[in-house]
Amino acid sequence: MRSSASVAAQRHSRSRSRVLSDRYLLEVAAEYDVRMNLQAQIELITVPQDFTRLCNSVLLAEHGDDFLPIDDDRADRGNDGYLKSEKRMFAAHCFKRVQNKSLDGEILEKMIGDLDKAIRLNGIGDWKVESWTFLCNYPIPESIAVKVVARGAAAGIEVGWRGPAYFAEVLQRVRSVREMFPNLLGNDILSRLDEIYSMVSAMRPPEVEAPIVSRSPRTPEEQEALIAQAPPGWEYLLFAGALYQGKARLESKWRDFRAGYARRSGVALDEAAAIAKLNSIWDDSIGIADRLMLYFDRNVHVEAFGEPGAPGNPDAIVHVAERIVAGYEDLLDWAAEIRSTIYPEKMRRAAGAAALAADRPARDIRDFIDRVVEEIDRLPEILAQPNPKVELSLDLELTVDSAAVKEFNRELRRIR
Protein backbone atom coordinates (compact mmCIF):
# COMPACT_ATOMS: atom_id res chain seq x y z
CA MET A 1 0.00 0.00 0.00
CA ARG A 2 1.45 3.36 -1.02
CA SER A 3 1.47 6.36 1.32
CA SER A 4 -0.19 9.63 0.33
CA ALA A 5 3.26 11.28 0.37
CA SER A 6 4.66 8.85 -2.20
CA VAL A 7 1.59 9.26 -4.41
CA ALA A 8 1.95 13.05 -4.27
CA ALA A 9 5.65 12.77 -5.10
CA GLN A 10 4.91 10.62 -8.14
CA ARG A 11 2.22 13.06 -9.33
CA HIS A 12 4.70 15.91 -8.94
CA SER A 13 7.30 13.95 -10.87
CA ARG A 14 4.86 13.20 -13.70
CA SER A 15 3.73 16.83 -13.78
CA ARG A 16 7.33 18.08 -13.93
CA SER A 17 8.16 15.58 -16.68
CA ARG A 18 5.18 16.79 -18.70
CA VAL A 19 6.27 20.41 -18.26
CA LEU A 20 9.79 19.56 -19.37
CA SER A 21 8.45 17.59 -22.32
CA ASP A 22 6.15 20.43 -23.37
CA ARG A 23 8.97 22.93 -23.07
CA TYR A 24 11.26 20.72 -25.10
CA LEU A 25 8.66 20.43 -27.85
CA LEU A 26 8.16 24.22 -27.88
CA GLU A 27 11.89 24.85 -28.18
CA VAL A 28 12.25 22.29 -30.94
CA ALA A 29 9.35 23.94 -32.76
CA ALA A 30 11.04 27.34 -32.43
CA GLU A 31 14.30 25.93 -33.76
CA TYR A 32 12.42 24.33 -36.64
CA ASP A 33 10.65 27.60 -37.48
CA VAL A 34 13.98 29.45 -37.62
CA ARG A 35 15.47 26.85 -39.92
CA MET A 36 12.45 26.86 -42.22
CA ASN A 37 12.60 30.67 -42.35
CA LEU A 38 16.24 30.50 -43.36
CA GLN A 39 15.63 27.80 -45.94
CA ALA A 40 12.81 29.78 -47.56
CA GLN A 41 14.98 32.89 -47.83
CA ILE A 42 17.93 30.93 -49.27
CA GLU A 43 15.62 29.55 -51.97
CA LEU A 44 14.85 33.14 -53.00
CA ILE A 45 18.50 34.08 -53.70
CA THR A 46 18.81 35.12 -57.36
CA VAL A 47 22.25 36.78 -57.36
CA PRO A 48 24.92 34.17 -58.27
CA GLN A 49 27.70 36.13 -56.50
CA ASP A 50 25.68 36.15 -53.25
CA PHE A 51 25.04 32.42 -53.46
CA THR A 52 28.73 31.69 -54.21
CA ARG A 53 29.75 33.72 -51.15
CA LEU A 54 27.28 31.73 -49.04
CA CYS A 55 28.67 28.41 -50.38
CA ASN A 56 32.30 29.39 -49.72
CA SER A 57 31.54 30.72 -46.23
CA VAL A 58 29.67 27.57 -45.21
CA LEU A 59 32.28 25.15 -46.64
CA LEU A 60 35.19 27.06 -45.09
CA ALA A 61 33.42 26.97 -41.71
CA GLU A 62 32.80 23.24 -42.07
CA HIS A 63 36.18 22.16 -43.48
CA GLY A 64 38.71 24.95 -42.81
CA ASP A 65 41.88 24.91 -44.91
CA ASP A 66 40.93 21.53 -46.35
CA PHE A 67 38.50 23.42 -48.62
CA LEU A 68 39.90 25.43 -51.53
CA PRO A 69 37.52 28.17 -52.76
CA ILE A 70 37.88 29.12 -56.43
CA ASP A 71 37.57 32.71 -57.70
CA ASP A 72 34.12 32.86 -59.32
CA ASP A 73 34.91 36.06 -61.25
CA ARG A 74 37.32 34.20 -63.53
CA ALA A 75 36.90 31.23 -65.84
CA ASP A 76 36.88 28.23 -63.47
CA ARG A 77 36.22 25.37 -65.96
CA GLY A 78 33.37 24.13 -63.75
CA ASN A 79 35.42 23.99 -60.53
CA ASP A 80 33.73 26.16 -57.87
CA GLY A 81 35.70 24.67 -54.96
CA TYR A 82 37.72 21.61 -54.01
CA LEU A 83 37.93 19.51 -50.81
CA LYS A 84 41.47 18.12 -50.67
CA SER A 85 41.01 15.22 -48.25
CA GLU A 86 38.07 13.75 -50.16
CA LYS A 87 39.24 14.74 -53.69
CA ARG A 88 35.78 16.30 -54.00
CA MET A 89 34.97 19.03 -56.54
CA PHE A 90 32.05 21.41 -56.04
CA ALA A 91 29.87 23.18 -58.60
CA ALA A 92 27.55 25.96 -57.36
CA HIS A 93 24.45 27.32 -59.09
CA CYS A 94 21.41 29.48 -58.43
CA PHE A 95 18.92 30.77 -60.98
CA LYS A 96 18.71 34.49 -61.71
CA ARG A 97 14.96 34.30 -61.28
CA VAL A 98 12.63 32.62 -58.80
CA GLN A 99 12.56 28.85 -59.34
CA ASN A 100 9.54 26.93 -60.60
CA LYS A 101 8.79 23.40 -61.80
CA SER A 102 9.25 24.34 -65.45
CA LEU A 103 13.01 24.68 -64.87
CA ASP A 104 13.69 20.90 -64.68
CA GLY A 105 15.28 20.87 -68.12
CA GLU A 106 17.62 23.71 -67.22
CA ILE A 107 18.54 22.01 -63.94
CA LEU A 108 19.47 18.80 -65.77
CA GLU A 109 21.45 20.68 -68.40
CA LYS A 110 23.37 22.63 -65.73
CA MET A 111 24.17 19.57 -63.60
CA ILE A 112 25.25 17.39 -66.53
CA GLY A 113 27.29 20.24 -68.02
CA ASP A 114 29.19 20.93 -64.78
CA LEU A 115 29.67 17.21 -64.08
CA ASP A 116 31.13 16.70 -67.57
CA LYS A 117 33.59 19.52 -66.87
CA ALA A 118 34.72 17.74 -63.69
CA ILE A 119 35.08 14.48 -65.64
CA ARG A 120 37.28 16.25 -68.22
CA LEU A 121 39.45 17.89 -65.52
CA ASN A 122 39.93 14.50 -63.90
CA GLY A 123 40.74 12.92 -67.24
CA ILE A 124 43.47 15.40 -68.16
CA GLY A 125 44.91 15.20 -64.66
CA ASP A 126 44.55 18.87 -63.66
CA TRP A 127 42.42 17.86 -60.66
CA LYS A 128 41.99 14.42 -59.11
CA VAL A 129 38.22 14.03 -58.79
CA GLU A 130 36.76 11.06 -56.93
CA SER A 131 33.57 12.82 -55.75
CA TRP A 132 31.48 15.68 -57.15
CA THR A 133 28.91 17.74 -55.23
CA PHE A 134 26.40 20.15 -56.75
CA LEU A 135 25.52 23.13 -54.52
CA CYS A 136 22.17 24.76 -55.23
CA ASN A 137 19.33 26.67 -53.56
CA TYR A 138 16.56 24.51 -55.02
CA PRO A 139 15.47 20.86 -54.69
CA ILE A 140 16.70 18.25 -57.18
CA PRO A 141 13.88 16.12 -58.75
CA GLU A 142 14.30 12.33 -58.67
CA SER A 143 14.04 12.08 -62.47
CA ILE A 144 17.12 14.32 -62.76
CA ALA A 145 18.97 12.75 -59.82
CA VAL A 146 19.03 9.25 -61.33
CA LYS A 147 20.50 10.52 -64.62
CA VAL A 148 23.25 12.57 -62.97
CA VAL A 149 24.22 9.75 -60.58
CA ALA A 150 24.44 7.31 -63.50
CA ARG A 151 26.58 9.75 -65.51
CA GLY A 152 29.01 10.08 -62.58
CA ALA A 153 29.12 6.33 -61.91
CA ALA A 154 30.04 5.67 -65.55
CA ALA A 155 33.07 7.94 -65.07
CA GLY A 156 33.99 6.47 -61.66
CA ILE A 157 32.91 9.62 -59.78
CA GLU A 158 30.55 9.64 -56.77
CA VAL A 159 27.84 12.27 -57.26
CA GLY A 160 25.94 14.20 -54.58
CA TRP A 161 24.25 17.55 -53.98
CA ARG A 162 23.45 19.91 -51.12
CA GLY A 163 20.46 22.20 -51.17
CA PRO A 164 18.89 25.01 -49.13
CA ALA A 165 18.20 22.80 -46.09
CA TYR A 166 21.94 22.14 -45.71
CA PHE A 167 22.88 25.82 -45.84
CA ALA A 168 20.06 26.74 -43.41
CA GLU A 169 21.29 24.14 -40.90
CA VAL A 170 24.88 25.43 -40.97
CA LEU A 171 23.77 29.07 -40.74
CA GLN A 172 21.67 28.23 -37.71
CA ARG A 173 24.44 26.26 -36.04
CA VAL A 174 27.49 28.44 -36.76
CA ARG A 175 27.12 32.00 -35.50
CA SER A 176 30.22 33.36 -37.26
CA VAL A 177 28.79 32.37 -40.64
CA ARG A 178 25.29 33.57 -39.76
CA GLU A 179 26.57 37.04 -38.88
CA MET A 180 28.01 37.38 -42.39
CA PHE A 181 24.48 37.22 -43.84
CA PRO A 182 22.26 39.42 -41.64
CA ASN A 183 19.80 39.99 -44.48
CA LEU A 184 18.75 36.35 -44.29
CA LEU A 185 17.34 36.82 -40.78
CA GLY A 186 15.03 39.33 -39.11
CA ASN A 187 16.53 41.22 -36.16
CA ASP A 188 14.21 39.55 -33.63
CA ILE A 189 15.09 36.07 -34.86
CA LEU A 190 18.82 36.85 -34.95
CA SER A 191 18.82 38.16 -31.37
CA ARG A 192 16.93 35.11 -30.08
CA LEU A 193 18.59 32.41 -32.13
CA ASP A 194 21.53 31.61 -29.86
CA GLU A 195 19.29 31.60 -26.80
CA ILE A 196 16.83 29.22 -28.45
CA TYR A 197 19.60 26.95 -29.71
CA SER A 198 21.23 26.79 -26.24
CA MET A 199 17.92 25.99 -24.56
CA VAL A 200 17.17 23.22 -27.03
CA SER A 201 20.66 21.75 -26.63
CA ALA A 202 20.30 21.78 -22.84
CA MET A 203 16.97 19.95 -23.01
CA ARG A 204 18.20 17.15 -25.25
CA PRO A 205 18.75 13.76 -23.59
CA PRO A 206 22.33 13.22 -22.38
CA GLU A 207 24.63 11.19 -24.57
CA VAL A 208 25.10 7.56 -23.60
CA GLU A 209 28.62 6.82 -22.40
CA ALA A 210 30.68 4.63 -24.68
CA PRO A 211 30.97 1.02 -23.48
CA ILE A 212 34.20 -0.28 -22.01
CA VAL A 213 35.87 -2.26 -24.79
CA SER A 214 37.47 -5.51 -23.60
CA ARG A 215 38.00 -7.26 -26.95
CA SER A 216 38.73 -6.37 -30.55
CA PRO A 217 36.02 -3.94 -31.71
CA ARG A 218 33.26 -5.38 -33.89
CA THR A 219 31.69 -2.06 -34.91
CA PRO A 220 32.92 1.46 -35.80
CA GLU A 221 31.40 2.70 -32.53
CA GLU A 222 33.38 0.17 -30.49
CA GLN A 223 36.45 1.10 -32.52
CA GLU A 224 36.11 4.79 -31.64
CA ALA A 225 35.55 3.91 -27.97
CA LEU A 226 38.67 1.72 -27.94
CA ILE A 227 40.85 4.50 -29.38
CA ALA A 228 39.44 6.99 -26.86
CA GLN A 229 39.97 4.65 -23.89
CA ALA A 230 43.37 3.33 -25.05
CA PRO A 231 43.66 0.37 -22.64
CA PRO A 232 46.91 -1.66 -22.52
CA GLY A 233 47.42 -3.43 -25.85
CA TRP A 234 44.83 -1.25 -27.61
CA GLU A 235 46.95 -1.16 -30.76
CA TYR A 236 46.57 -4.91 -31.32
CA LEU A 237 42.89 -4.89 -30.36
CA LEU A 238 42.34 -2.13 -32.94
CA PHE A 239 44.23 -4.11 -35.59
CA ALA A 240 42.21 -7.29 -34.96
CA GLY A 241 38.95 -5.34 -34.93
CA ALA A 242 39.68 -3.67 -38.27
CA LEU A 243 40.49 -7.09 -39.77
CA TYR A 244 37.28 -8.56 -38.33
CA GLN A 245 35.10 -5.75 -39.70
CA GLY A 246 36.77 -5.89 -43.12
CA LYS A 247 36.27 -9.66 -43.42
CA ALA A 248 32.63 -9.35 -42.31
CA ARG A 249 32.04 -6.66 -44.94
CA LEU A 250 33.16 -9.08 -47.70
CA GLU A 251 31.15 -12.14 -46.66
CA SER A 252 28.74 -11.70 -49.57
CA LYS A 253 31.65 -11.70 -52.06
CA TRP A 254 33.11 -14.78 -50.36
CA ARG A 255 29.81 -16.66 -50.68
CA ASP A 256 29.61 -15.73 -54.38
CA PHE A 257 33.19 -16.92 -54.87
CA ARG A 258 32.51 -20.27 -53.16
CA ALA A 259 29.41 -20.75 -55.29
CA GLY A 260 31.36 -19.96 -58.49
CA TYR A 261 29.04 -17.03 -59.20
CA ALA A 262 29.98 -13.82 -61.01
CA ARG A 263 27.84 -11.27 -62.80
CA ARG A 264 28.42 -11.25 -66.55
CA SER A 265 30.59 -8.33 -67.58
CA GLY A 266 29.59 -8.44 -71.23
CA VAL A 267 33.26 -8.80 -72.26
CA ALA A 268 33.58 -11.53 -74.90
CA LEU A 269 37.02 -12.65 -76.12
CA ASP A 270 37.89 -14.28 -79.41
CA GLU A 271 40.41 -17.14 -79.45
CA ALA A 272 43.50 -14.97 -79.88
CA ALA A 273 42.50 -12.57 -77.11
CA ALA A 274 41.44 -15.44 -74.83
CA ILE A 275 44.78 -17.24 -75.24
CA ALA A 276 46.67 -14.00 -74.53
CA LYS A 277 44.49 -13.45 -71.45
CA LEU A 278 45.04 -16.97 -70.13
CA ASN A 279 48.79 -16.82 -70.76
CA SER A 280 49.12 -13.69 -68.60
CA ILE A 281 46.53 -14.59 -66.00
CA TRP A 282 49.01 -15.45 -63.23
CA ASP A 283 50.75 -12.08 -63.45
CA ASP A 284 47.75 -10.42 -61.80
CA SER A 285 47.61 -12.93 -58.94
CA ILE A 286 51.34 -12.57 -58.29
CA GLY A 287 50.92 -8.79 -58.21
CA ILE A 288 48.11 -9.12 -55.65
CA ALA A 289 50.29 -11.29 -53.41
CA ASP A 290 53.30 -8.98 -53.75
CA ARG A 291 51.26 -5.89 -52.82
CA LEU A 292 49.77 -7.70 -49.85
CA MET A 293 53.16 -8.77 -48.50
CA LEU A 294 54.37 -5.14 -48.49
CA TYR A 295 52.28 -4.66 -45.34
CA PHE A 296 54.08 -7.43 -43.46
CA ASP A 297 57.36 -5.53 -43.64
CA ARG A 298 58.84 -4.81 -40.20
CA ASN A 299 59.24 -1.09 -40.88
CA VAL A 300 55.56 -0.81 -41.76
CA HIS A 301 54.61 -2.53 -38.51
CA VAL A 302 56.90 -0.33 -36.43
CA GLU A 303 55.38 2.78 -37.99
CA ALA A 304 51.89 1.51 -37.15
CA PHE A 305 52.31 -0.20 -33.77
CA GLY A 306 55.27 1.83 -32.50
CA GLU A 307 58.55 0.74 -30.99
CA PRO A 308 58.37 -1.30 -27.74
CA GLY A 309 57.09 1.00 -25.00
CA ALA A 310 55.86 3.66 -27.43
CA PRO A 311 52.21 4.18 -28.43
CA GLY A 312 51.01 3.22 -31.89
CA ASN A 313 49.37 5.28 -34.60
CA PRO A 314 45.65 4.39 -34.87
CA ASP A 315 45.31 5.63 -38.44
CA ALA A 316 48.35 3.64 -39.56
CA ILE A 317 47.14 0.51 -37.73
CA VAL A 318 43.73 0.65 -39.40
CA HIS A 319 45.44 1.30 -42.75
CA VAL A 320 47.59 -1.84 -42.43
CA ALA A 321 44.52 -3.92 -41.57
CA GLU A 322 42.57 -2.44 -44.46
CA ARG A 323 45.38 -3.21 -46.93
CA ILE A 324 45.40 -6.85 -45.80
CA VAL A 325 41.64 -7.03 -46.24
CA ALA A 326 42.05 -5.31 -49.64
CA GLY A 327 44.43 -8.09 -50.72
CA TYR A 328 41.77 -10.64 -49.79
CA GLU A 329 39.14 -8.67 -51.72
CA ASP A 330 41.48 -8.36 -54.72
CA LEU A 331 41.72 -12.16 -54.90
CA LEU A 332 37.94 -12.52 -54.85
CA ASP A 333 37.57 -9.78 -57.49
CA TRP A 334 40.30 -11.39 -59.60
CA ALA A 335 38.38 -14.68 -59.67
CA ALA A 336 35.08 -12.87 -60.32
CA GLU A 337 36.62 -10.96 -63.25
CA ILE A 338 37.78 -14.25 -64.82
CA ARG A 339 34.35 -15.84 -64.34
CA SER A 340 32.46 -12.82 -65.69
CA THR A 341 34.40 -12.84 -68.98
CA ILE A 342 33.00 -14.83 -71.90
CA TYR A 343 35.58 -17.25 -73.35
CA PRO A 344 35.36 -19.52 -76.40
CA GLU A 345 33.81 -22.88 -75.51
CA LYS A 346 37.06 -24.87 -75.57
CA MET A 347 38.79 -22.46 -73.18
CA ARG A 348 36.16 -22.25 -70.44
CA ARG A 349 37.53 -25.12 -68.37
CA ALA A 350 40.96 -23.49 -68.28
CA ALA A 351 39.43 -20.19 -67.15
CA GLY A 352 37.39 -21.98 -64.48
CA ALA A 353 40.50 -23.71 -63.15
CA ALA A 354 42.35 -20.39 -63.00
CA ALA A 355 39.55 -18.81 -60.95
CA LEU A 356 39.66 -21.75 -58.50
CA ALA A 357 43.36 -21.06 -57.89
CA ALA A 358 42.30 -18.09 -55.72
CA ASP A 359 40.58 -20.42 -53.25
CA ARG A 360 43.62 -21.50 -51.25
CA PRO A 361 45.26 -18.06 -50.75
CA ALA A 362 41.84 -16.52 -49.97
CA ARG A 363 41.32 -19.17 -47.29
CA ASP A 364 44.82 -18.49 -45.96
CA ILE A 365 43.89 -14.84 -45.41
CA ARG A 366 40.55 -15.74 -43.80
CA ASP A 367 42.28 -18.20 -41.47
CA PHE A 368 44.90 -15.56 -40.63
CA ILE A 369 42.20 -13.03 -39.70
CA ASP A 370 40.28 -15.56 -37.58
CA ARG A 371 43.47 -16.60 -35.78
CA VAL A 372 44.56 -13.02 -35.09
CA VAL A 373 41.12 -12.09 -33.72
CA GLU A 374 41.01 -15.20 -31.52
CA GLU A 375 44.49 -14.65 -30.11
CA ILE A 376 44.18 -10.91 -29.55
CA ASP A 377 40.71 -11.16 -27.97
CA ARG A 378 42.47 -12.96 -25.08
CA LEU A 379 44.97 -10.12 -24.69
CA PRO A 380 43.09 -8.04 -22.04
CA GLU A 381 42.68 -11.11 -19.83
CA ILE A 382 46.37 -12.02 -20.18
CA LEU A 383 47.57 -8.47 -19.45
CA ALA A 384 45.43 -8.36 -16.32
CA GLN A 385 47.45 -11.22 -14.78
CA PRO A 386 50.58 -10.66 -12.67
CA ASN A 387 53.76 -10.76 -14.78
CA PRO A 388 51.92 -11.47 -18.04
CA LYS A 389 53.71 -13.22 -20.89
CA VAL A 390 52.37 -12.33 -24.32
CA GLU A 391 53.26 -14.10 -27.55
CA LEU A 392 51.42 -13.05 -30.71
CA SER A 393 51.83 -14.55 -34.19
CA LEU A 394 51.09 -12.09 -36.98
CA ASP A 395 52.65 -14.09 -39.83
CA LEU A 396 50.74 -14.82 -43.03
CA GLU A 397 51.78 -17.55 -45.48
CA LEU A 398 50.00 -17.80 -48.81
CA THR A 399 49.82 -21.22 -50.45
CA VAL A 400 48.92 -22.27 -53.99
CA ASP A 401 46.13 -24.67 -54.92
CA SER A 402 48.34 -27.06 -56.87
CA ALA A 403 45.40 -29.13 -58.14
CA ALA A 404 43.80 -26.07 -59.76
CA VAL A 405 47.13 -25.00 -61.26
CA LYS A 406 47.71 -28.49 -62.72
CA GLU A 407 44.21 -28.53 -64.19
CA PHE A 408 44.78 -25.09 -65.72
CA ASN A 409 48.14 -26.10 -67.27
CA ARG A 410 46.65 -29.31 -68.62
CA GLU A 411 43.79 -27.42 -70.25
CA LEU A 412 46.15 -24.81 -71.66
CA ARG A 413 48.32 -27.52 -73.27
CA ARG A 414 45.22 -29.13 -74.77
CA ILE A 415 44.12 -25.79 -76.25
CA ARG A 416 47.54 -25.18 -77.78
pLDDT tens, 296-326? 888 998 999 988 888 899 999 999 999 999 9
Helix runs in 44-130, H state only: 48-63, 104-124
Sign of CA dihedral 163, 166, 169, 170: negative
Domain spanning 42-203: CATH 3.40.91:
yes
Per-chain mean pLDDT for the chain? 83
Q: Write down the pLDDT at residue 20.
A: 43
List, in order, residues 6 or more apart from 338 with CB less than 8 Å away: 262, 281, 351, 354, 355
Give the 3-state secondary structure of residue 342. strand
- The total of other beta-carbon atoms located within 10 Å of residue 308's CB is 6
In this prediction, residues 145-156 reach a mean pLDDT of 96
The answer to whether the beta carbons of residues 278 and 412 sit under 8 Å apart is yes
Q: Tens digits of per-residue pLDDT, 21-51?
A: 444 444 444 444 555 578 888 888 888 898 9
Query: pTM for the complete prediction?
Result: 0.50
Question: 341 versus 196: which is more confidently predicted?
Answer: 341
In this prediction, residues 71-94 reach a mean pLDDT of 87
Q: Write down the pLDDT at residue 57.
A: 94
Q: Tens digits of per-residue pLDDT, 365-406?
A: 999 999 999 999 999 888 888 888 877 777 888 888 788 888
Q: Tens digits of per-residue pLDDT, 48-78?
A: 898 999 999 999 999 999 999 987 666 668 8
Task: Give, for 289, the enclosing helix (H) or strand (E).
Answer: helix 281-293
Q: Write down the pLDDT at residue 3.
A: 35
| Position 107 pLDDT exceeds 50 | yes
Angle at 222 between CA 218 and CA 223, to 5 degrees: 85
Confidence of residue 12 (pLDDT cuts 50, 70, 90): very low
Q: Write down the pLDDT at residue 391.
A: 77
Q: Tens digits of per-residue pLDDT, 222-244?
A: 999 999 998 988 999 999 999 99
Confidence of residue 119 (pLDDT cuts 50, 70, 90): very high
3-class SS shares of the chain: helix, strand, coil, % to 5: 65, 5, 30
The answer to whether the beta carbons of residues 81 and 67 sit under 8 Å apart is yes
Confidence of residue 143 (pLDDT cuts 50, 70, 90): very high
